Amino acid sequence: MTGEFKRDQNYLPDRITADGRDGWPVAAGRYRLVIARACPWANRAAIVRRLLGLEDALSLGLCGPTHDERSWTFDLDPGGRDPVLGIERLQEAFFRRDPEYPRGITVPAIVDVPTGQVVTNDFKQMTLDFSGEWRKFHREGAPELYPEPLRDEIDDVAEKVFRDVNNGVYKAGFATTQEAYEEAYRALFARLDWLSERLATQRYLVGDTITEADVRLFTTLVRFDSVYHGHFKCNRQKLTELPVLWAYARDLFQTPGFGDTIDFGQIKEHYYVVHRSLNPTGIVPLGPDPSGWLTAHGREELGGRPFGDGTPPGPPPAGERVPSLAG
């Protein structure tokens, strides 16, 4: 369709595996996960790393909320350099892997610290491998986010959510024709209605515990009112006007490992500053008030066990804490 936003989904395909079959064996301390708090795709990796307790095995590099046409940058770090990789731009790690790397420089990316090369930026596979291939380094009580008996259903729900919601907000926001925008808008809200119906009678998307599917939906919902409702013209309703999804999102936000990865200031700064085609002034809105995320949600009445037979993760490491909404 003319004017339709099409995401480049070609990523570095290497995987870090327990048996090292791609040449990248799982090893504690060898790799660095590079994210930006602003990015929903990177947010997935941050949440799964927290839930599984991989902090000691896989270090975290944090890019700032804005970037230019070249690359994400480490402007939050002293001197503007990542303290482990010693680079100013994530682009440098991609170029060490391939000096002619032709695609976008994306987060999340996992970098091999000894060589300084990016191993993978395949965000979909990355979190599944955290669950499966990195099992040796899971914390005691780590949840099963991708349990074998539910994988087909998780994959099915996650694909619908990706097409119509995760990527759907971008298809609406970056459409360049009215027809393309309206198609994306209708698909988005049809899927949100479908999700509302599904979640009206069950606490989580698949089964009675948190799974990969919930992680993938949450990172879009948590950005919805701050960014997608206005900036991307996804404005049939705000999340706060969708009772089931608003309660579901608050339930997850208040679950350790979810809300403690969210920095609303960085999220808004990224979208409103970087997307000058949509917001030429670069003015970042002050609202909405995020305090509602801490209000009671009542989802416990639906039952469910957030971590199954596991336990919640402990608090984030000191250097990875985000601003608290509680003040």
Active site residues: 39, 170
32 forms beta bridges with: 59, 111
Give the pairing type, strands 117-120 and 59-63. unpaired
Residue 41 is assigned to a ligand binding site: no
- Measured in whole angstroms, how far is the alpha carbon of residue 104 from the centre of its chain? 17
Q: How far apart are CA 139 and CA 84, in angstroms?
A: 23
Q: Cα-flanking dihedrals φ and ψ of residue 53, to 5°?
A: 75, 40
Evaluated on CA atoms 256, 261, 263, 268, the torsion sign reads: negative
Q: Which residue do the tokens 């979208």 mark?
A: 271
Q: How far apart are CA 274 and CA 316, in angstroms?
A: 28
The candidate with the shortest Cα–Cα distance to 249, out of 233, 236, 262, is 262
**Alpha-carbon distances, residue 250 vs 89, 180, 292, 294, 295 (angstroms):** 34, 31, 8, 7, 8
Is the Cβ–Cβ distance between 208 and 304 less than 8 Å? yes
First-residue to last-residue Cα distance in the chain: 47
Burial per residue of 82-97, b for 16 or more beta-carbon CB atoms within 10 angstroms, e otherwise: beebebbbbbbbbbbb
287 forms beta bridges with: none
Annotated binding site: 72
Annotated binding site for glutathione: 72
